[in-house]
Structure 1
Amino acid sequence: MLFCASQVFSQTSEIARRHNFASSYFGLDAQVFPFTQQGFVLNDANEVNIYNRNGFVIPSINIGATHFWGYADFYITIGTTPISFRKDSIENSYQYGVITGLRVYPLAPQKYPIRPFLGYKFTPFRFQQVNTEGEVYNNTTVRSALEAGLGYQSASWYLYLSGNMILQPEEESWLSRTVVQPIQQPTYFFSLGANYRLETTRGAYSPSVRILDTLLRQQNAMGLFFGIGPSSAFPTANSSSIIESLPFLDDRAMPDLFPDISAGYHFSRQEWVVAAAFRPMRQTRTAYGFQQQVNRNSFALESYKFLFDYHGFAPFIGAGVMWDNMRLSETDNDVNITETVSSKLAPGLVFGWDIRPGKRADPWLLRTNLRYSPYASLEKDNATLSLQYLEFNFIQFVLYPQRLSYYRNL
C-alpha cells in the first residue's frame, strides 16, 4: 500500500514539475530612451553641422516564456515605430527590429513574487537619417545590452521594470557617399513590460496522453507534423562587395521578418526527425539614391536528434543541406544597373528545443529553431555578398495531425 501511494505521489510530482517548467506569455513593452547624443549632417556647402537629438520611446510587443520553474525568462520583443518626445530639426530615427533576450531570477518564485533579475539581450539597431536634400541613409549594427531590474510573476501576470546599458554604442555614419562621421548612439534606456501568461498545457496529462506516450516510445507512429512561425535572421559576416565598392550602404542590413514553414516526420522511438523547411527572405539596402535588394528563397532538407527531455525541455541538434534561389537587383538614382538570378547548394546546421508538456504524445507543441549556413553567399563583380545568417525562429507552432485525430476519435 505504501509502495503504491509512493508511486502515485511520484507520478503526481513529475506531472506538476513538467506543467510548471515553462509558461508562455504575450504582452506589451515600452523601451524608453531619455538620453540621446548629438547628430551630424552636411549642409549645402558640404560642411558638417551638429544638431540635437531628442529622447524617444519605442512601443513593442512581447512574446516569450518563463522556463526552469520561473528562474529564467526567454523572450523576443518586436519593436514598432519610435515616438519622439520632441521633433528634431533633422529627420532621424533609432530603432530595433526584434530583441532576443534572457533574464535570470536568482530567487525562488514561490517565496518572492517580486524578485530582482539580471539579463542579457541583443538586437539589430537601425539608425536612419534624412539629409537636407531628402536623401535617406540607413545603418544597422547588432548590439548587446546588459539589464538589471525587478519582476513580478503571478498565475496570470508577468510584469517587469529594468534599466539597460548598451555595450559599444559607437558607430560610423556616412553623411554622403564619400563623407563619414563617427557618432555616439544612446547608451542607457529603460524597459517596462506587462504580459499575460497563457495556459497551454491543460489536458496534457490525461490517461489517453500517457497511453499514447507509452506507445510512441515502443514504435514509430503518428509522427507526421507541420510547423509555421515568424523568423528573423542576423547577418554574421561582412560582405566584401559592400565594403570595397559601396561602403556607404548598410552592410549588416537585417532581412525582413519572414515565415518559417516546415513539414516532416518524428521517429518517436529513436527521437529523430527528418524535415523540410522553406523560408523566403528579403534583404534591402538603401542610401543616397542607391538601392540593393536580395530576394532569397531557401529550401532546407535537414535531420536532427533530440538529446534529452528535462521536465518538458527537449533540445535537439542536427544538420542539413540548403538550396537557395537568389535574385539580386540594384538601382542607382532609379536607373536599373544590376539584375541577376542564381542558385546555390550549401550545408547548414540546425538546433533548438521543444517544449513538451505531454512528453512524446503532444498533438501540438511550441518549437524554437535556429539555423546557420556558414557558406551561403552570392558572387558579384569578383566579390562576395554574404548570406551567412543566424536564423532565429523563436516560436513555431507545430501540429501533429495524426495524434490530433487519434485523440478526437477516442
Structure 2
Amino acid sequence: MLYRKFFLLLYLSLCFLSVSAQEYFSEGKNRLNFAKTYFELGGQYSPSFNSKTLNGNVVSFVQNSASLMPYLNIGGIHFWGHADFYISIPLGQINLQKNNSSDFLLNQSVITGARFLPLAYKDNRIRPYVGASWAVVNFKQKSTPDNAQPLFQQNKLLLDLGLLYGKGNWLVRAGINYNYSNKWQYPLSQTNFQEIETPDWSGNVSIIYTVETTRSKKMEKENERLNQYGNVTKPTKDALKFGDYFIGAGFATSFMLSNSKYNNNEYPYFNKKGISRTYLDASIGYHFNRAGIITALSYRSPKFVNEAFGIKQTIQKNSFALEAYKFLTDYNGFTPYLGLNITYDNIRFSENQNIQKTFNQLNPGITFGWDILPGKTEQFFVLRTNLRWYPFSSIKINGQCFSQHQLEYNVIQAVFYPARYKNAKKK
C-alpha cells in the first residue's frame, strides 16, 4: 500500500504542476488568473471515542485513543479567490495512546471537496470559509486475538468551516470538520452487530504552498491573446486544425451504488457497497477540434475486496470502453462534457477456493466530466476528470443477483497531444 500512495502522490504532483495557477489581482479578473494551484500538508486531529469488543458472548466497552492523521491536499483556489476545490490523500494514522487489547482504523480520503470564501482571498487578510466534501470514511475495529473484523467504507458528505491566511506563495489554514452521520452498525462477530459511534468532529491545521506555472514570460503574446476571451466562450473557438490524437492516463476509483442481494443473504457482515482499490485508467483517442467532440478507447481494471471472519471475496474487472462525448461550454478554461460509452467487461469472481467464476459482458454507460483547458484547442497538456456511470451491470452468483451498478471516478487524468506539442515548440 505504501508504494501505491507514493506513485499516486508523484503522479498528482506532476499533474498539478501543469494546471492553471496565477496571481489574481495584479491585472484584474481574466482567463489566466481564474485559478491558483496549491499543495497542502496538514494534520487532522480526531478525539477519543467509545467502542465495543466481544469477549465470548459478552459485549465489553473499550475507549479508543485520540488520533492524528497526516494528509496531503492538492487543489486550486478558483473564481478569483472565492472558491477552493481539492482532493485529500491520507498519509497514515497515529494513535496517541496504545491499547494492547484493541486497536482501530479511522480515516478519510476526500474524493472531491469544495470551500466557499465569502470574501475573496487576499494577501495579509484572514478569510473565513465554509465547505463540504464527498469523502470515503474508513473504519475497522481490530480486536485481539484474530483481528478478523471487516473494513467498513462509506461515502459521506462532510461539512467544514475555518480560516485562511497567507502572504505570497505561503498560506496557513485552521478548520473544523463535522460528520453528521457517524454511527456504524458494525459486526463484532458474524452474527453480533453493535452500534459504534465514531467522533462527529475533527480539527485540522495545515500549511499551503501555491505555484505559478501557466503564465510564461516567454509567451506574453499568447497570454494576452488568451486573456482576450470572455468568461463564457465556445470550446471550439479559433480552432485551427480539424483534430488531434491524444493519449491519457490517470488514477481512478469505482463505487458500487447498489447493495448485493447475494452478500446481503450470505455475508451480511460485509461492507454493503464496495469501493474499489485505486487503479489506472489509460486511454487513447481523437479530439475533433472544430466539432468539440472526443472519441476514445479506455482501459480500466478495478478490484473490489471484502474480507472478514475467514472469508475473502474478490471481484477483478478488466474493462475496455469505447466512448464519445461533446464539450458543452467553456467557462474560463473549465470545459464540461457529456456523452455515451459501451464497455466490454471481463469479470472474475472468487470466494476463497469455493467459487471461481468468470463473466464476459457488454454494458452501456454514460460518460461525463470536464477538462481544465485555458489554452483551448492548442493546449498540448490537459487535465481531464472522467466519470462513467453503469446503471445496468450485474452478475449472478448461485442464482442470486450481485449488482455491479457503479460509478467510476477518474479524479485527474493527464492527457497529452503530441501534434499540439510539436506546434507549440515551433512557436
Q: Distance in 1 between matches of 2:167 and 2:336?
A: 27
Which of 8, 26, 45 is matched with 1:32 structurally? 45
Q: Distance in 2 between matches of 1:91 and 1:154?
A: 41
Aligned to 2:388: 371
3-state DSSP class of the match of 1:38? strand
Aligned to 2:161: 148
Which of 187, 192, 196 is matched with 2:200 structurally? 187
- Judged with a 3 Å threshold, the aligned counterparts in structure 2 of structure 1 residues 139 and 208 are, in CA distance, closer, same or farther, namely closer
* Matching of residue 80 in structure 1 with residue 78 in structure 2: no
- Judged with a 3 Å threshold, the aligned counterparts in structure 2 of structure 1 residues 376 and 193 are, in CA distance, closer, same or farther, namely farther
Aligned to 2:335: 314
1:138-177: per-residue Cα shift (whole Å, max 9, x none)?
2222222111101235442343211111021111010111
* Matching of residue 394 in structure 1 with residue 411 in structure 2: yes
* Matching of residue 285 in structure 1 with residue 306 in structure 2: yes
1:325-359: per-residue Cα shift (whole Å, max 9, x none)?
1111111xxxx111111111111111111112212
3-state DSSP class of the match of 1:52? strand
3-state DSSP class of the match of 1:107? coil
Matched to 1:21, the amino acid is F
- Judged with a 3 Å threshold, the aligned counterparts in structure 2 of structure 1 residues 205 and 148 are, in CA distance, closer, same or farther, namely same
**Alignment check: 8 A CA contact 1:72 1:104 kept:** yes
Q: How does 1:10-409 map to 2 (within 5 A)?
A: 17-34=30-47, 36-43=48-55, 45-88=56-99, 89-110=101-122, 113-137=125-149, 138-203=151-216, 207=221, 217-218=238-239, 220-331=241-352, 336-409=353-426
Matched to 2:59, the amino acid is V
- Judged with a 3 Å threshold, the aligned counterparts in structure 2 of structure 1 residues 254 and 97 are, in CA distance, closer, same or farther, namely farther
Matched to 2:273, the amino acid is R
Matched to 1:293, the amino acid is T
- Judged with a 3 Å threshold, the aligned counterparts in structure 2 of structure 1 residues 261 and 157 are, in CA distance, closer, same or farther, namely farther
Matched to 2:192, the amino acid is V
**Alignment check: 8 A CA contact 2:236 2:290 kept:** no
Q: Identity of paired residues, percent?
A: 34
Note the C-alpha offset of 1:56: 0.4
Over the aligned positions, Cα root-mean-square deviation in angstroms equals: 2.4
**Alignment check: 8 A CA contact 2:246 2:287 kept:** yes
- Judged with a 3 Å threshold, the aligned counterparts in structure 2 of structure 1 residues 154 and 274 are, in CA distance, closer, same or farther, namely farther
Runs (4 or more) in structure 1 with deviation over 3 Å come to 13-16, 110-113, 203-211, 213-222
Q: Distance in 2 between matches of 1:344 and 1:155?
A: 54
TM-score, with normalisation over the residues of structure 2? Answer: 0.85
Note the C-alpha offset of 1:99: 4.0
Note the C-alpha offset of 1:190: 1.1
Q: Distance in 2 between matches of 1:29 and 1:277?
A: 35
3-state DSSP class of the match of 1:176? coil
Q: Distance in 2 between matches of 1:127 and 1:119?
A: 23
Q: Distance in 2 between matches of 1:215 and 1:133?
A: 63
Q: Distance in 2 between matches of 1:271 and 1:327?
A: 37
Flag structure 2 segments of 5+ consecutive residues without an equivalent. Answer: 1-25, 230-234
**Alignment check: 8 A CA contact 1:292 1:329 kept:** yes
Aligned residues: 391
Matched to 1:263, the amino acid is I
TM-score, with normalisation over the residues of structure 1? Answer: 0.89
Q: Distance in 1 between matches of 2:134 and 2:143?
A: 29
3-state DSSP class of the match of 2:263? helix
- Judged with a 3 Å threshold, the aligned counterparts in structure 2 of structure 1 residues 384 and 24 are, in CA distance, closer, same or farther, namely farther
Aligned to 1:8: none
Note the C-alpha offset of 1:134: 0.7
